[in-house]
Every structure is written in C-alpha cells, then in structure tokens.
Chains A and B, each alone.
Chain A
Amino acid sequence: MSESVSVGAHPGGAALGRRRDPARRPAAGPGARAAHARKLGVRTIALGYLALLLAAPLVMIFYRTFEHGLIPVWNAITAPNAVHAFWLSIEIVAIVVPLNTVFGIGMALLLERGHPRGRALLGMLVDLPFAISPVVVGLALVLVYGKTGWFGDWLAAHGIQVIFSVPGMVIATAVVSLPFVARETVPVLRELGTDAEQAAATLGASRWQTLLRITLPAIRWAVVYGVVLTTARALGEFGAVSIVSGRIEGQTQTLPLYVQDRFENFDVTGAYTAAVVLALLALATLLAMNLLARRSASRTPV
C-alpha cells in the first residue's frame, strides 16, 4: 500500500517501490500458504481443547438434566433444600462481593498510589489466596475461629458461632475471592499514571473529589471485570466453604455443596439441575458485564 502512494507522490518513490517488490513477493506465495495452514492448525487445537474441556461437559450436563423432561427438573428446583441452597449462595455473594470490591479498590490504590513500605510483600499477600488451596484456607479458618481455635472461647462466650454457620462461610468465600478486584485494578492504575489526578489537584479538587471524579471513572472497567470474577468465584467456591460450613442440609449448604450432596446420594437429576442453575448464574454474570460494557462504550469513546 505504501508503495502505490509514493509512486504517485514523487518519482523517487517509484524506483524504491520497484526495488523493494521482488524481494518481498517470492516469499509471499508459499509463505502465505504455510502461515494460513499454521493459523488453521492453531485454531483447531485451541477450539478442540476448549470443546474437550469446557463445551462437551457443559453440554452433557444440560443434556442429562433435561433428559427425562421438565417435570423432574421442576421438582428438583423447587425442593426446599435446593431453594435454601440457592438463596444462601446469593446471600453470601451479596455480602462478599461489595466487601471485596471496596477492599480491592482500596488495596489497589494503596499499592499504586500510597507508596507503602514493603510494597512487594503486600502485593504477594494479596495474591496469597490464589496460591493456597481453598481446603487449606478452610482448615486455617477452623483453627482460628473454631471451638478450640484462638478466638473460639471469646466467640463462644459472646454467643457468636462462626464455624459451621453462615459467618464462617462468608469469611471463607471472602478469603478465596479476595485478590480479583485488586489484581485487575492495579495494572490499570499503573498504566493510567498520576497526571490526570495531579491536574485535578491543581484545579482545586480535594482527594475525595479526585477519587470520585477522576480515578474511579478511569478504572471502572477493571473494577467491573474484577467484580465479575469475584462473583463467579464466590458463587462456585467449594473447598473452603465445604470445611467451615459443616454441610448441614437446609442450613449451611450453598449450591455447590448441594450439588455434591445430591451427587453422593445418587440423586442425579437434583445434582445436574443445581449444576445447571449454577452455570446459568455464572453465564448471567458474564452477560451482564458484556451488556454494561457495550452500553457504556456506545456512549463514551474510551
């Protein structure tokens, strides 16, 4: 393309164009075909991998759920323990996600704008829940908050039960979904730089005004993405919650725990139905984010 422009522009360009062409063309024929084949190969592998690991199992779950028609599914959905598990999952998400969003934004601001001592160490601490197995998190929480734990006596004396009840499940879920918002927001804050914030300050904005009007709007998509990941993680959390909840039917069973319980009791339809509900909730979260992103993108070109 550049050649044809310079040919028209001045004679020197034409000579240059002629000289350059033969060097490129011969390589283009077979080279392009090979590149095409490579691209196809890569795509096949990527899609095949996805199909094998993700699509096929998902499709199977949907298929097995609705295998015997809608009536067993309806019965499974309206079973009291299923309904309870659904609402408990929603409740935990509704508590954990706002908490971790505020914490995540605050931590990201501290890491990127606060110049804390031991910044690297702090960043590693935030990432720790990613590295530790959720089961370990659950056990650790039992050690701290359980009957024989550090705070056990104190909590028991004040009539607060953390382990084997909802507060413990909220804490466990909060721990395992802790890093998402901060991890998504930190690189965006770094990339953003401090110029706009400093400009706001020279224009008379207080720190609070700068945060609300400049920084938060600039990082909003990172935060939204972090929130979606947090939600998905909180909805699906099994290991840590499994340990701290005690899995009491109709009391401390979240949807994933309920799925496990149904599966172990050979109630296949119940297990699959709950699994489908979980999958649909996750899909709805993703969809909501996409819609939000698209609507906002049509309004502001950023």
Chain B
Amino acid sequence: MAIEVRNVTKRFGDFVALDDVCIGVADGALTALLGPSGSGKSTLLRIIGGLETPDSGTVAIGGRDVTDTPARMRDVGFVFQHYAPFKHMTVKDNVAFGLTVRRRPKAEIRERVTELLDLVRLEGLADRYPAQLSGGQLQRMALARALAVQPKVLLLDEPFGALDAQVRAELREWLRRLHDEIHVTTIFVTHDQEEAMDVAEQIVVMNLGRIEQAGTPNELYESPRNEFVMSFVGPVNRLDDMSFMRPHDIQILPSNDGEGTEALIERVVHLGFEVRVELKLEDGREIWAQVTRERAHELELHEGQILAVRLPPPRVFTPSA
C-alpha cells in the first residue's frame, strides 16, 4: 500500500471533519476522494499531506508511519485548489523551488526544470510570471512544481475546480495520460462525480466525515452500498426517501400495451446525443428519463404528449443506523 490511513479523526471545534476514517491506496493508483462540501475530503487530503494533524489515528506513506512527520519530510507533492503560485518568481523558478531549497547543483536543476516544463507543455513560458498565465497554465505549473522533487505521492485538491468547462475537460484527459506515463500514486479531491468517474481508477465516496463506499467507478455505479452513494454517483430519480431509479432504466414505449404506466411529457431537453425527458406519472410523481437522440426522434417526443413508460423495479435501500 502506498498510502494507509487508519482510524483518523479530526475535529475543528465542535465540527467533526473526519470520523474514524480508514482508507488504503495501492501503489501507482489514481484515486478520487468524492463528496459534497463539508464531507471532509479536503481535510483528509491535507492530513495525508501533513498540512493538518489528526486528533487521533495514523497515516503511513510507502509503509512508513508519517503521522508525526512534518509536511516537508513526507515526500508528497501537493497541488492546491488555487495553485498557490509563488507570484514573485518566474515559472521556471517556481518549478525549480523544491530542488533549489534542497541545494541541488544548478545544472541538474536546469535540466530537470526543462524536462518538466516539456512534460506539462509550458516550454515557451519559462520566464513568465504567474500573473501572466491562464488558469490552466497555472494549474500545470503547480503540477510541474509538485513533481519536480519526485514525490512518492501526488495530492491534488479540487484540481479542476477553478477552471472553465472546456479547459477542465482537456486537463482531465491530460492528467489521466500523465498518470499513465509517470505512474505516481495520485489522490485528487473533487465534488464532481462525473470528474471522478472520468479520471479515477478508484473512487472513495465521503459524506459527513465518513467513508460511504470505496471502489471502482463501475462498482459504485452498479452496486452502490447505500442511498447516499446511489444518489451521489450517477444520475438518479429519487422516488421517495429510500427508493431510486436510474433515468436510463426508464423505458418509453411506442404504444401502451397495458404493461406500462401512463405519463405526461412536461419537457424535452436536447443535450446532444442524450435527450432528457421530464415526465409526470399518473400518480402525480415527477421523474425524468434519459433516451438517445434517435429514440426521441423515432417516438416523436414532444411536450404535452401522453404516452406509456415501463418502470424498472426501483432500487430500495434500508436506512442505516
């Protein structure tokens, strides 16, 4: 295990940020900590990085107990949500920082910085200052800076949170490829389930300072352990407190053959390939179904139409204590 967190609890005053949390991350894995704000995911990341100390519990990195080791001795690369650039230094001095404070020879530093700037595609911007970079460029500079000291573990706090949608998609793709290339054990924090599903090999779902479930994106989607994971990972219709239905499991029928439930189309939203159909059922419940563009076209779906849908058996959870 590259990272082993055992029974970590952290309080801020009366607020319990982490409540007896345990996770293990395999060598070279790309893991997402996923949860809503206040779920404790950033606190957990900061505890792993040594930027917060747990009230109780232990953290081990590469088999070594680092619970009492200061951040600077932990061999972690940390990328902050707002990148924390050193504003008075050029891009290359930012990237070189970790090597400079370790007093490595100048030639080695220069070589390594050039190599890293190539890796993050900032070759031409070495002499710029952070104020002259875009959000995406700052993000990549922060990443190169963190990688310069060859950390055992790379930790990223909401790495795409502050970027606009298109840059975010590009950077996600790029981060995944980078990880394939350099294979450093990586944990990133996100509140965006789509981002977690897209980038991570493993997802740890957190809520209210506890781990709800950990597994591959597919495991979480196919067999969520409880209603929180069900509703947080993937699109969902909540029928009542504890029963759920995935929108793509709802079938819209060409004609009512008697098996279906009658429904009124309240709205049809075209999202490219996917079409979102908002329905009102006979009993007044409102749900939405996800169909393909072709299917919507074939059935000539439109607002105000009354048709029949076949509902899958809902997934029902029992409330946990």
Contact = CB atoms under 8 A, between A and B. Distances in A.
B135 to A, nearest CB: 15
A222 B86 CA distance: 17
B82 A195 contact: yes
B149 A204 contact: yes
Give the secondary structure class of A's interface: helix
Contacts of A302: 87-88, 129, 131
A202 B51 contact: yes
A218 B88 CA distance: 7
B71 interface: yes
A196 B72 CA distance: 13
Contacts of A198: 51, 71, 78, 80, 84
Contact of B70 (A201, A217, A218, A301): A201
Contact of A301 (B51, B76, B101, B132): B132
B146 interface: yes
B246 interface: no
A205 B78 contact: no
B145 interface: yes
Nearest to A207: B72
Interface in B225-278: none
B72 A205 contact: yes
A201 B80 contact: no
Contacts of A290: none
Nearest to B129: A301
A243 B247 CA distance: 85
A217 to B, nearest CB: 4
B315 to A, nearest CB: 42
B70, B72, B78, B98 pick with most chain A CB within 10 angstroms = B72
Contacts of B132: 301
A205 B101 contact: yes
Interface string B270-301: 00000000000000000000000000000000
Q: Chain A contact residues (Cβ within 8 angstroms of B): what range?
A: 10 to 19
B129 A200 contact: no
B160 interface: no
A198 B49 CA distance: 10
A195 B102 CA distance: 20
A212 B97 CA distance: 13
B35 interface: no
Interface string A173-211: 000000000000000000000011011111111100100
B159 interface: no
A139 interface: no
Contacts, number: 73
A202 B88 contact: no
B84 A199 contact: yes
A36 B208 CA distance: 56
Contacts of B40: none
Contacts of A205: 72, 97-98, 101
B50, B76, B101 pick with most chain A CB within 10 angstroms = B101
A202 B131 contact: no
B77 interface: yes
Contacts of A265: none
A203 B131 contact: no
A209 B101 contact: yes
Contact of A195 (B49, B77, B84, B97): B84
A213 to B, nearest CB: 7
A110 B145 CA distance: 29
B301 to A, nearest CB: 26
A300 interface: yes
A203 B129 contact: no
Interface in B61-91: 70-74, 76-78, 80, 82, 84-88
Given A198-B78, A301-B129, A204 B84 contact: no
Interface string A260-302: 0000000000000000000000000000000000000000111
Contacts of B88: 217-218, 300, 302
A204 to B, nearest CB: 5
B145 A300 contact: no
B150 to A, nearest CB: 11
Contacts of A109: none
Contacts of A217: 88
7 contacts: A199-B78, A201-B70, A202-B77, A203-B145, A203-B149, A204-B98, A205-B101
Interface of A: 195-196, 198-206, 209, 213-214, 217-218, 300-302
Given A213-B86, A217-B88, A300-B129, 17 more contacts: A196-B85, A199-B78, A199-B86, A199-B145, A200-B86, A200-B101, A202-B49, A202-B51, A202-B71, A203-B145, A203-B146, A204-B73, A204-B98, A204-B101, A218-B88, A300-B88, A302-B87
Interface of B: 49-51, 70-74, 76-78, 80, 82, 84-88, 97-98, 101-102, 129, 131-132, 142, 145-146, 148-149
7 tightest A-B CB contacts, nearest first:
A203-B98, A195-B84, A199-B84, A202-B78, A205-B101, A217-B88, A201-B71
